[in-house]
Amino acid sequence: MIILGIETSCDETSAAVVVDGRDVRSNVVSSQVDLHARYGGVVPEIAARAHIERIDDVIAAALEDSGTSLDDMDAIAVTEGPGLIGALLVGLTAAKTISALSGKPLVAVDHLHAHVTSASITLDHDPFPAIALVVSGGHTSIYHVQDPLEPQLIGQTRDDAVGEAFDKVAAVLDLGYPGGPIIDKTARDGDPKAINFPISRIDDRPLDFSYSGLKTAVMYHVFGHGEKYGSASKLSATQLADITASFQRAAVKPLVDRTLRAVEQTGVRRVLVGGGVAANSALREMLTERCTAEDVTLHLTPMRYCTDNAAMIAAHADRLARADRFAELDLTPRAGLRRPRGAKSKSS
């Protein structure tokens, strides 16, 4: 089965052609990071406008790179949520238009479910049942995945997402945007135990996360209460490295602890990791170490499929299409967490 995937849920305009969920023939990603950098975060209206300007070229490039044409497609897949409404609407409109004009069926993909299963793109088998950790700018979630079409959410953040914490701490330290990759790099020269930032625990929901306290602790550390630098500009390179390394350890450790707790709780000894923050080197290292020590199989999503991309959308859509779960042309975008509205069986 050959599928054209389209992804526009946040600030990456992406299109990909994937055969049988694994053979990625093309994966074009046009990032808008430069447009949002000066605002320190994604501006929804700017994102939607940039998607409109780029979507046609990105789809054309994905088809060209793959050496295929629309005629070759078995289905058109698109992210229907969660995400920014205006941004989603652009991808959805493109996919629905192509579907209507070509007569190819439409598949609606949940962005988070695509992150959940993204590690399988480069495996030669489906890695389920599994515990999946999805860590991105908008989400910090643990899923129990028995059926990849119905991942069960068993843990999530109570406030900020972990990627958001990386971005906000980088802003506090004047390091630039997006913060994740910059903190990852800066932290390499630092001592992760230099500062004892709090590692949150939620007693009544042991698989949940909280990141707002950690962000506040870094702010106090920089601007006052305790060590009073007053401003990030007064920090030396060593201090910056120690602060970022210590923050990163406090951000990453609960992800690893909760994931292995989910393994214990469910008895499922296989872990998948996806989402933008899955690119973090400290997280990859700590997870590899702990999973090896505890004899748990770990599948880290390859870096190119960690941050938002349409290959994971087309790959996940392959499963939905094989299960006959197609969407109707009245499909609408969805901002928050819930089941895809348009995903219903063609035969029902």
Chain residues that interact with ligand KG4, rule: CB under 6 A: 10, 136-138, 163, 166-167, 178-181, 184, 275-277, 279-280, 307-308
User: Of the candidates 308, 318, 334, 343, which one interacts with Zn ion according to CB under 5 A?
Assistant: 308
Non-local (6+) Cβ contacts of 104 within 8 A are: 70, 73, 74, 75, 76, 98
Q: Tell the smallest beta-carbon distance from residue 277 to ligand KG4 (Å).
A: 4
Considering CB distances under 5 to 8 angstroms, the limit depending on partner class, which of Zn ion, ligand KG4, none binds residue 81?
none
For CA atoms 324, 329, 330, 333, the dihedral sign is positive
CA distance 222 to 226: 9
The stretch among 77-85, 91-99, 130-138, 255-263 that binds Zn ion (CB under 5 A) is 130-138
Q: Which is nearer to ligand KG4, 7 or 242 (CB)?
A: 7
For CA atoms 120, 126, 132, 134, the dihedral sign is positive
Q: Tell the smallest beta-carbon distance from residue 78 to ligand KG4 (Å).
A: 15
Q: Tell the smallest beta-carbon distance from residue 161 to ligand KG4 (Å).
A: 7
Q: Which is nearer to ligand KG4, 184 or 208 (CB)?
A: 184
Considering CB distances under 5 to 8 angstroms, the limit depending on partner class, which of ligand KG4, Zn ion, none binds residue 166?
ligand KG4
Considering CB distances under 5 to 8 angstroms, the limit depending on partner class, which of Zn ion, ligand KG4, none binds residue 178?
ligand KG4
Structure tokens at 182: 């910059």
Considering CB distances under 5 to 8 angstroms, the limit depending on partner class, which of ligand KG4, Zn ion, none binds residue 137?
ligand KG4
Q: Which is nearer to ligand KG4, 110 or 184 (CB)?
A: 184
* Adjacency order of strands within the sheet including 23-31: 23-31, 12-19, 2-7, 75-81, 106-110
Q: Tell the smallest beta-carbon distance from residue 346 to ligand KG4 (Å).
A: 29
Q: Tell the smallest beta-carbon distance from residue 307 to ligand KG4 (Å).
A: 4
Q: How far is CA 163 from CA 131, 210, 285, 302, in A?
A: 20, 12, 17, 18
175 within 8 A of 183, measured Cβ to Cβ: yes
Stated as kind and residue range, the H or E segment containing 279 is: none
Q: Which is nearer to ligand KG4, 91 or 179 (CB)?
A: 179
273 within 8 A of 135, measured Cβ to Cβ: yes
Q: Which is nearer to ligand KG4, 189 or 227 (CB)?
A: 189
Q: Which is nearer to ligand KG4, 11 or 268 (CB)?
A: 11
Q: Which of 129, 110, 161, 194 is nearest to 278 (CA)?
A: 161
Considering CB distances under 5 to 8 angstroms, the limit depending on partner class, which of Zn ion, ligand KG4, none binds residue 41?
none
CA distance 256 to 273: 10
User: Of the candidates 99, 136, 157, 246, which one interacts with Zn ion according to CB under 5 A?
Assistant: 136
The stretch among 227-235, 247-255, 280-288, 303-311 that binds Zn ion (CB under 5 A) is 303-311
Q: Which is nearer to ligand KG4, 7 or 63 (CB)?
A: 7
Structure tokens at 309: 């991309």
Q: Tell the smallest beta-carbon distance from residue 71 to ligand KG4 (Å).
A: 31
Q: Which is nearer to Zn ion, 164 or 308 (CB)?
A: 308
CA distance 277 to 308: 11
Q: Tell the smallest beta-carbon distance from residue 115 to Zn ion (Å).
A: 6
Non-local (6+) Cβ contacts of 162 within 8 A are: 135, 140, 209, 211, 251, 255, 277
Q: Helices in 38-178 by DSSP H: which ranges?
A: 44-66, 85-102, 111-117, 162-172
CA distance 234 to 289: 36
Residues 43-82, one symbol each (x = binds Zn ion by CB under 5 A, - = not), give ----------------------------------------
247 within 8 A of 169, measured Cβ to Cβ: yes
**Interface positions with Zn ion (CB under 5 A):** 136, 308
